[in-house]
Amino acid sequence: MDEKKDNQELSPLQKARLKYSPKIPQILQNISAVSFEIGDQSLSVDSFPQISLNPQLRLISQDLETLSKPLRVGVVLSGGQAAGGHNVLTGLFDAVQELHPESRLFGFLNGPSGIPKKKYIELTKEYLAPFRNQGGFDAIGSGRTKIETPDQFEEALKTCQELDLDGLLIIGGDDSNTNAAHLAEFFLERGCKTSVIGVPKTIDGDLQNENIEISFGFDTACKIYSETIGNIARDAISAKKYYYFIKLMGRSASHVTLECALNTHPNLALIAEEIQENKETLVDVASMIADLVVARNEQGKEYGVILIPEGVIEFLSDIKALIKELNLLLATSGVHSKNLEELHSFSKKIEYIVPLLSEAAKSCFMLLPSLLQGQFLIDRDPHGNVQVSKIETERLFIHVVEEELCKRRKRGEYHGSFSGQPIFCGYEGRACLPSNFDADYCYSLGRLSAALIRHQKTGYMAAITNLNKPAALWKAIGAPLHAMMGLESRNGKLKPVIKKALVNLTSGSFQQFTKLRELWRLQDHYAQPGPIQFFGPKEIVDSIPLSLQ
């Protein structure tokens, strides 16, 4: 126990939220009566000989004997913040206490590395009290470290054995849950009793599959971003002088952008998966946006709202090719990386690199404003790769649209005055007070995890389904982790990993979007969802993501 509590002061709203009782599914009310029946069997996966025998588990209510021995459970938060994480901890804590009042919960500190390093604190009722229904991951911290090396696996095993853990909860995204599957497999192989259970966390919404309807944190993040987008749209239609280019966090997939578009009705929302499907280039998209600006100008409108998913850059075919060439050219092991390092002036670096590019890559590179040329050339990761998440896509689009409009102006096709404003919706959506939906969902996931651990299930993800119904009607299952896997190339080898879900272009929510977006282009159908509400009408405080409806 090496971490002391910080001195955060609770605001009046934070204090009021402490008193909120999360709503839970009927089936998870009496946690002592929860049992499982066997559902579908999935195909086995070679890399997981043990856990791939796991069938799906469906919750049932059964008269069970009281647990004779207290449970000992460990929990860890992995990766970026997502609203509701603390409620997984409190849901788990309350449930293990209900199962046996002497059960104990241990929180590993600052991410998965806390397990092999055996850095933890005990999570007591008193310790958890100020974290109920609160944002952030700071009760135990989080981290992006993984358990990867054989040594780390051994040390993690040792920690779980020394702490005599019945269960270990790993709260994380696709990578962390892939890691959970490996740990479950390893523990079984080594006869360790610790059940390993995953919980689906990520604001990006890309951890979805037939058992997982949505990851937690997605709803709150989309509500926070939609609040901002709605406010910005109302500003646009009032001031009538800016085009707001709003970049939204959410990594590769465009789930966040799609959900926010359905909530706010922007004039345009780029969906990366559609751009990829249509094999569009940066120039294509710039031209499409310029078309919008010209058409709105003809209606006397010099303002607009455009949503941009942060991942779009990797889905533009020309930029993708450019990044690939630059990554090869600038690999840290190569000579060019060193030569470039030695050139101190930015223009010298450009003079050096441009002749090395193919014609196509060169013409794409020359489209970029100098600030972004710098982000492509200078901001590289330790392997020499372009750091895609650091590229300011919102500024890139403003620049290329300006260039395109400039050409059209010279040809007499445009007579307006375009003024773009870049906005980024990101970090503020990760650690905020969870919406009722995320508070309820997370608390339920914590309770479900306790039931899985009590029944010594391992290699499962806690899954709550029927989320578009009131919480009392939600269903709960144990979803086998191995069944979520697909093979992907990592460092040249095919490895089983939990598949990232991209936006499905045949899904209901995407279809709904394509039906409405024509209307949103030129007319202004902006909606302003406003701030998340915690008191008041049920349809407001208990609203769920539109893409779940």
Per-residue binding string, a copy of itself, 337-356, x by CB under 8 A, is --------xxx---------
Residue type, 457: K
> Which is nearer to a copy of itself, 215 or 435 (by Cβ)?
435
> Of residues 28, 524, 544, 545, which one binds a copy of itself by CB under 8 A?
524
Q: Is the Cβ–Cβ distance between 74 and 115 less than 8 Å?
A: yes
Task: Taking the CA atoms of 395, 398, 404 and 410 in sequence, report the sign of the dihedral they define.
Answer: negative
Q: Does 10 bind a copy of itself (CB under 8 A)?
A: yes
Q: 457-489 as b/e, with b when 16 or more CB fall inside 10 Å?
A: bbbbbbbbbebeeebeebebbbbbbbbbbeeee
Question: Long-range pairs for 411-415 at CB < 8 Å and ≥24 separation?
Answer: 413/294, 414/290, 414/293, 414/294, 414/297, 415/297
Distances in Å between the alpha carbon of 306 and those of 289, 322, 415, 428, 493? Answer: 9, 25, 21, 20, 39
Residues numbered 246 to 275 that lie near a copy of itself (CB under 8 A) are: 263, 265
> Of residues 332, 456, 523, 549, which one binds a copy of itself by CB under 8 A?
523
Q: Does 370 bind a copy of itself (CB under 8 A)?
A: yes
DSSP 122-139: E--HHHHGGGTT--SSTT
Q: Does 371 bind a copy of itself (CB under 8 A)?
A: yes
> Of residues 1, 11, 210, 514, which one binds a copy of itself by CB under 8 A?
11
> Which is nearer to a copy of itself, 141 or 496 (by Cβ)?
141
> Of residues 22, 74, 80, 545, which one binds a copy of itself by CB under 8 A?
80
Q: Is the Cβ–Cβ distance between 216 and 201 less than 8 Å?
A: yes
Q: Does 432 bind a copy of itself (CB under 8 A)?
A: yes
Token readout for 463 is: 């899954």
Task: Taking the CA atoms of 344, 392, 406 and 271 in sequence, report the sign of the dihedral they define.
Answer: positive
Provide the pairing of β-strand 420-425 with 120-122.
unpaired
Per-residue binding string, a copy of itself, 195-234, x by CB under 8 A, is -----------------------------x--xx-xxx-x
> Which is nearer to a copy of itself, 213 or 524 (by Cβ)?
524
> Of residues 431, 442, 498, 502, which one binds a copy of itself by CB under 8 A?
431
Could you tell me the smallest distance in angstroms from the CB atom of residue 412 to a copy of itself? 24
Q: Is the Cβ–Cβ distance between 104 and 198 less than 8 Å?
A: no
Token readout for 255 is: 């789930």
Would you tell me how many other CB atoms lie within 10 Å of the CB of residue 371?
11
Per-residue binding string, a copy of itself, 134-173, x by CB under 8 A, is xxxxx--xx-------------------------------
> Of residues 209, 337, 421, 512, which one binds a copy of itself by CB under 8 A?
421
Name residues whose C-beta falls within 8 Å of residue 339's C-beta, 6 or more positions apart in sequence.
Answer: 352
Q: Does 543 bind a copy of itself (CB under 8 A)?
A: yes
Could you tell me the smallest distance in angstroms from the CB atom of residue 525 to a copy of itself? 5
Beta-bridge mates of residue 429: none
> Of residues 1, 8, 407, 415, which one binds a copy of itself by CB under 8 A?
8
Catalytic positions are 204
Q: Does 533 bind a copy of itself (CB under 8 A)?
A: yes
Q: Does 442 bind a copy of itself (CB under 8 A)?
A: no
Kindly state the DSSP code that residue 474 receives in the 8-state scheme. -
> Which is nearer to a copy of itself, 182 or 265 (by Cβ)?
265
Name residues whose C-beta falls within 8 Å of residue 469's C-beta, 6 or more positions apart in sequence.
Answer: none
Could you tell me the smallest distance in angstroms from the CB atom of residue 45 to a copy of itself? 33
Residue found under tokens 């008269």: 63
> Which is nearer to a copy of itself, 240 or 415 (by Cβ)?
240
Would you tell me which residues interact with a copy of itself (CB under 8 A)?
Answer: 6-14, 16-17, 80-81, 110, 134-138, 141-142, 224, 227-228, 230-232, 234-235, 237-240, 242, 244, 263, 265, 345-347, 370-371, 421, 423, 427-433, 523-537, 539-540, 543
